Amino acid sequence: MNAYESRPWLNSYSPELSPTIDPVEFDSIGSLIESICRKYADRPAFSNLGTVLSFRQINALSDRFAAFLVGELGLAKGDRIVLQMPNLLQYPVAAFGALKAGLVVVNANPLYTAHEMRKVFVDSGAVAIVVLENFADKLHTIIAETQIKHVVLTDVGDLLPPAKRVVTNFVVKHVQKMVPKHGLTGTVGFREALAKGVRHASVALPEVTRDDTALLQYTGGTTGGTKAAVVTHLNLMSNQAQMLAPMRLRLDEGVETVIAALPMYHIFCLTVNCLAFFNFGAHNVLITNPRDTAGLTKTIAKTKPSVLILVSTLAASLLDRADFRSLEFSGVKLTVAGGMALRGSTATAWKDATGNDVVEGYGLTEASPVVSVNPTWMAPRVGTIGLPLPSTDIEIRDDEGNVVPLGDAGELCVRGPQVMSGYWNQPDATADVLKDGWLLTGDVASMSDDGYITIVDRKKDLIVVSGFNVYPSEVEEVAMAHPKVKDAGVIGVPDEHSGEAVVLFVVKADDSLTEDELRAYLKGELAGYKRPKRILFRDDLPKSNVGKVLRRELRELLE
On whether residue 190 sits in a domain, the answer given is yes
CA-CA distance, 369 to 362, in Å (whole number)? 8
CB of 253 closer than 8 Å to CB of 277: no
On whether residue 214 sits in a domain, the answer given is no
Beta bridge partners of residue 53, listed in sequence order = 46
Burial category of 314 from C-beta neighbours within 10 Å (exposed 0-12, middle 13-18, buried 19 and up):
buried
Most confident of 200-204, 223-227, 334-338, 545-549: 200-204
CA-CA distance, 351 to 224, in Å (whole number)? 35
Shared domain for 243 and 348, answered yes or no, is yes
Instruction: State the DSSP string of 509-525.
Output: SSTT--HHHHHHHHHTT
- pLDDT band at 340; cut points 50, 70, 90: low
Shared domain for 270 and 146, answered yes or no, is no
- Among the candidates 416, 432, 458, a domain finishes at 458
Strand order in the sheet with 499-508: 485-495, 499-508, 534-538
Predicted local confidence at residue 222, as pLDDT: 56
Instruction: State the DSSP string of 95-117.
Output: HHHHHHTT-EEEE--TT--HHHH
Which CATH number covers residue 491? 3.30.300.30
Predicted local confidence at residue 225, as pLDDT: 59
In this predicted structure, which of 90-104, 154-168, 400-414, 496-510 has the lowest mean pLDDT?
A: 496-510
Shared domain for 123 and 233, answered yes or no, is no
On whether residue 77 sits in a domain, the answer given is yes
The domain tally of the chain equals: 3
Predicted local confidence at residue 114, as pLDDT: 86
DSSP-derived letter for residue 531 is S
Distance of CA 120 to the CA centre of its chain: 18
Long-range pairs, 314-321, Cβ under 8 A, ≥24? 314/261, 314/290, 314/547, 315/346, 315/350, 315/358, 316/343, 316/346, 316/349, 317/293, 318/293, 319/346, 319/349, 319/350, 319/353, 320/293, 321/293, 321/294, 321/297
Predicted local confidence at residue 221, as pLDDT: 61
On whether residue 544 sits in a domain, the answer given is yes
Shared domain for 83 and 202, answered yes or no, is yes
Q: Around 501, how many Cα atoms within 13 Å sit in the side-chain half-sphere?
A: 10
- pLDDT band at 515; cut points 50, 70, 90: very high
On whether residue 404 sits in a domain, the answer given is yes
Burial category of 326 from C-beta neighbours within 10 Å (exposed 0-12, middle 13-18, buried 19 and up):
exposed
CA-CA distance, 227 to 214, in Å (whole number)? 16
Q: Mean pLDDT for the chain?
A: 94
Shared domain for 234 and 318, answered yes or no, is yes
Predicted local confidence at residue 100, as pLDDT: 98
Length of the chain counted residue by residue: 559
CA-CA distance, 212 to 230, in Å (whole number)? 10
Asked if pLDDT for residue 13 goes beyond 70, the answer is yes
Predicted local confidence at residue 529, as pLDDT: 85
Shared domain for 485 and 387, answered yes or no, is no
Shared domain for 366 and 510, answered yes or no, is no
Domain hosting 353: range is 3-24+219-458
Asked if pLDDT for residue 74 goes beyond 80, the answer is yes
Asked if pLDDT for residue 226 goes beyond 90, the answer is no
When pLDDT is averaged across residues 380-394 and rounded to a whole number, the result is: 95
Beta bridge partners of residue 457, listed in sequence order = 444
Asked if pLDDT for residue 257 goes beyond 90, the answer is yes
Shared domain for 231 and 376, answered yes or no, is yes
Predicted local confidence at residue 75, as pLDDT: 98
Indicate the helix (H) or strand (E) that contains 428: helix 427-433
Which CATH number covers residue 171? 3.40.50.980
When pLDDT is averaged across residues 289-300 and rounded to a whole number, the result is: 95
Predicted local confidence at residue 223, as pLDDT: 57
- Among the candidates 155, 176, 209, a domain finishes at 209
Shared domain for 286 and 418, answered yes or no, is yes
| Sheet strands (E) in 149-226 | 150-154, 188-189, 213-219
Predicted local confidence at residue 514, as pLDDT: 97
Asked if pLDDT for residue 328 goes beyond 90, the answer is yes
Q: Around 427, how many Cα atoms within 13 Å sit in the side-chain half-sphere?
A: 0
On whether residue 247 sits in a domain, the answer given is yes
In this predicted structure, which of 40-54, 409-423, 447-461 has the lowest mean pLDDT?
A: 447-461
When pLDDT is averaged across residues 242-259 and rounded to a whole number, the result is: 97
Which CATH number covers residue 315? 3.40.50.12780
Asked if pLDDT for residue 192 goes beyond 70, the answer is yes
Shared domain for 438 and 473, answered yes or no, is no
Asked if pLDDT for residue 485 goes beyond 60, the answer is yes
Shared domain for 311 and 420, answered yes or no, is yes
Asked if pLDDT for residue 220 goes beyond 70, the answer is no
Shared domain for 439 and 299, answered yes or no, is yes
On whether residue 147 sits in a domain, the answer given is yes
CB of 137 closer than 8 Å to CB of 131: no
Asked if pLDDT for residue 224 goes beyond 70, the answer is no
Asked if pLDDT for residue 274 goes beyond 60, the answer is yes
Query: Using one digit for the tens of pLDDT, what is the confidence trace for 436-467?
Result: 999 999 999 999 999 999 998 777 788 888 76
On whether residue 88 sits in a domain, the answer given is yes
CB of 453 closer than 8 Å to CB of 412: yes
Percent of the chain with pLDDT over 70: 98
In this predicted structure, which of 79-83, 259-263, 330-334, 343-347 has the lowest mean pLDDT?
A: 343-347
Query: Using one digit for the tens of pLDDT, what is the confidence trace for 139-171?
Result: 999 999 999 999 999 999 999 999 999 999 999
